[in-house]
Amino acid sequence: MAASEQPRVFSGVQPTGSLHLGNYLGAIRNFVDIQDDYDAVYCIVDLHAITVWQDPVELKQNILDVAAAYLACGIDPKRSTVFVQSEISGHAELAWILNCVARIGWLNRMTQFKEKAGKNRENASVGLYVYPNLMASDILLYHANFVPVGDDQKQHLEITRDIAQRFNNDFTPEGEEFFPLPEPLILPVASRVMSLRDGQKKMSKSDPSDMSRIDLIDDPDLLRKKIGKAKTDPLPLPDSREELETRPEALNLMSIYSGVSRQSVEQTVAEHAGRQFSDFKSKLADLLISELEPIRKEFIRLKTDQAFLDQCLREGGDKAAERAAPVLGRAKELVGLR
């Protein structure tokens, strides 16, 4: 099937630091798995990154690092469209229109804003507050039908649908549904990888403890050390899913194992019931190393080839621009702009 006839997928990752196992299992590995079945557009969302202050020198490098990580994980820039958000001005232009469509009440419900802004909400950037409108713009600008993301982005997909629906209602002539309502693609396993230090907290780039996450650039020794020191409880591994649900650290490690080995959590429980954590951790570390070590090596190789990365992003930008231009043009026309 020609790319133009396939349903379209859009997703993005922020260039805000090195990528971790949550990004990989929750999002990027899924991007790779589905790239042949969809017209896939994968973005490095640098405009989202600057909603909190970024060191400009580091940001430039982080953008290339996400490009290198995408390719190292298996995204094929020939089959998929890989590009940098700020290079396509339509994202910001459509976001402005959507700023005028979304309601303040909708934004006030966003839990990610509340978490990121913390106690000092008055001091958060306005960009952080309207972040979901920019995300809606990313998705709608490509008329994406599906959006592969981790579980934490569910609410942002809901508001995207609300915005699309409101735009369609307010501006689209009867019978024409201009923006398709996008569906999230959230995997049943490992869509929310938790911190290795606290099974109730999400694994995150911004956690001050390096030991809380597995980074895609961790070498085998460091990875083994992090899994070895991961928090557990004193009991042997549970023998039922019900018991697992009451033990957050065991649940996290067993979910990671299941995600990487592409099996259900029930299967992992059946295989390891009653074993000691030390035994399980050593198997988990082996499994992670065999999955991640080829990616790490390829990532390091690609990082040294900036000319190649630049060229991929240029070509990806051209493909993205072609897709975005007619949608932005029609959106402006529908609103009554020239």
The residue ranges that bind ligand AMP (CB under 6 A) are 13-14, 22-23, 26-27, 149-150, 152-153, 191-193, 202-203, 205
Distance from C-alpha of 128 to C-alpha of 114, rounded to nearest angstrom = 10
Specify whether the CB–CB gap between 20 and 216 falls below 8 A.
Answer: yes
With respect to ligand AMP, which residue has the nearer C-beta, 13 or 309? Answer: 13
Place of tokens 């460091």: 222
Distance from C-alpha of 227 to C-alpha of 243, rounded to nearest angstrom = 22
- Token pair belonging to 190: 């490992």
Distance from C-alpha of 116 to C-alpha of 176, rounded to nearest angstrom = 38
3-class SS at 68? helix
With respect to ligand TRP, which residue has the nearer C-beta, 80 or 153? Answer: 153
**Does 225 participate in catalysis according to the annotation?**
no
**Does 332 participate in catalysis according to the annotation?**
no
With respect to ligand TRP, which residue has the nearer C-beta, 141 or 237? Answer: 141
By DSSP bridging, strand 39-44 and strand 81-84 are: parallel
By the rule CB under 6 A, 147 interacts with ligand TRP: yes
Place of tokens 């390891």: 272
By the rule CB under 6 A, 48 interacts with ligand TRP: yes
By the rule CB under 6 A, 135 interacts with ligand TRP: yes
Judged by CB under 6 A, the residue of 35, 62, 145, 153 near ligand TRP is: 153
Exactly one of 205, 225, 231, 283 is catalytic; name it.
205
- Considering the complex, what minimum distance in angstroms separates the CB of residue 28 from ligand AMP? 7
- Considering the complex, what minimum distance in angstroms separates the CB of residue 172 from ligand AMP? 29
Stretch that binds ligand TRP, among 76-84, 119-127, 132-140, 212-220 (CB under 6 A): 132-140
**Does 116 participate in catalysis according to the annotation?**
yes
Give the 3-state secondary structure of 202-262: ECCCCCCCHHHCCECCCCHHHHHHHHHHCCCCCCCCCCCHHHHHCCHHHHHHHHHHHHHHC
Positions touching ligand TRP (CB under 6 A) are 10-12, 14, 45, 48, 135, 138-139, 147, 149, 153, 156
Residues belonging to the active site: 116, 202, 205
